[in-house]
Amino acid sequence: MERGVHDRGGWATQAPIDRSEHELADWELLTDALVGVLGHAGLMNVDELRRGIESMPPEEYERASYYERWLFSIETVLTEKGVLAAGELDARLGK
Amino acid sequence: MRYRRGQRVRVAARRHEGHHRTPGYVKGKIGSVERVHASFTNPETRAYGADGLPKQPLYLVGFAQRDVWPDYRGGSGDRVYVDLFEHWLEDAE
């Protein structure tokens, strides 16, 4: 049966599991806080967060870090809801 | 609550497009109800902006590791436990 890229249990791999920890950067802490605020504001729930992460193109999912996936999902869901305009974040960041 | 503690259940093997909380490695596998948790809003609809109602019963289902992994080499009594919603379970008795 076809499985999503996130549906990981039992995937055969020879690659070692990276168990290293890292100090969280400011943007990662802010991303975590942002999801909490969006939940309190009723703008986005944790299931929408998960769904947004699972909708990532598989190659991008593999490349992205934990909180990069969160950011992808936040932008996806908030753009769907019209809270963000398409391309608004990139425009503000001057990309 | 359709199932009770100790009852054998099979996890539905159906395809499901979109967000759901049933891991692929237990689909089609038979386990037993270890605990009846309670009813919770449905993440499959909440993930798309709905309210998740009606609430769905959630169970803790235990599986023999040997039933889940064909080449499992650990102890015969080893088990793996997964939280599963009732609409993913079928009667296996």
Q: How confident is the model at residue B93 (pLDDT cuts 50, 70, 90)?
A: confident
Distance of alpha carbon A80 from alpha carbon A8, whole angstroms? 27
CB-nearest partner of B25 from A9, A47, A81: A9
Size of interface A-B (CB pairs under 8 A): 34
- Is residue B44 in a domain? yes
What's the complex ipTM? 0.89
Amino acid at B38: A
Q: How confident is the model at residue B10 (pLDDT cuts 50, 70, 90)?
A: very high
Q: Is B52 in Cβ contact with A1 (below 8 Å)?
A: no
- B13 neighbors B89 (Cβ within 8 angstroms): no
All residues of chain A having their beta carbon less than 8 Å from the beta carbon of residue B15 are: 1-2
| Cβ burial A55-71 (10 Å sphere, 16+ → b, else e) | bbeeeebeeeeebbbbb
The residue written with tokens 């934990």 in the block is A66
The residue among A46, A47, A78 with the most chain B CBs within 10 A of its CB, best to mutate, is A47
- Report the CATH number at residue A68: 1.10.472.20
CA distance A66 to chain B (A): 18
Per-residue pLDDT, A1: 65
- Is residue A87 in a domain? yes
Q: Is A7 in Cβ contact with B43 (below 8 Å)?
A: no
Q: CA distances (Å), A60 to each of A51, A64, B24, in order?
A: 15, 6, 21
Cβ–Cβ contact B70 with A under 8 A: no
Distance of alpha carbon B83 from alpha carbon B43, whole angstroms? 13
- Could you tell me the pTM of the whole model? 0.91
- Is residue B3 in a domain? no
Distance of alpha carbon B39 from alpha carbon B41, whole angstroms? 7
Structure confidence by residue, pLDDT tens digits, B16-60? 989 999 999 999 999 999 999 999 999 999 999 999 999 999 999
- Chain A: residue whose CA lies nearest to B52: A47
Count of the separate structural domains present in chain B: 1
Give me the mean pLDDT over the A2-30 stretch: 90
In chain A, which residues touch B (CB < 8 A)?
1-3, 7, 9-10, 45, 47-48, 50-51, 54, 81
- Report the CATH number at residue B28: 2.30.30.50
Cβ–Cβ contact B57 with A under 8 A: no
All residues of chain A having their beta carbon less than 8 Å from the beta carbon of residue B19 are: 47, 50-51, 54
- Is residue B1 in a domain? no
Residue A89 pLDDT > 90 = no
- Is residue A21 in a domain? no
- Is residue B2 in a domain? no
Count of the separate structural domains present in chain A: 1
Structure confidence by residue, pLDDT tens digits, A31-79? 999 999 999 999 999 999 999 999 999 999 999 999 999 999 999 999 9
Structure confidence by residue, pLDDT tens digits, B72-83? 999 999 999 999
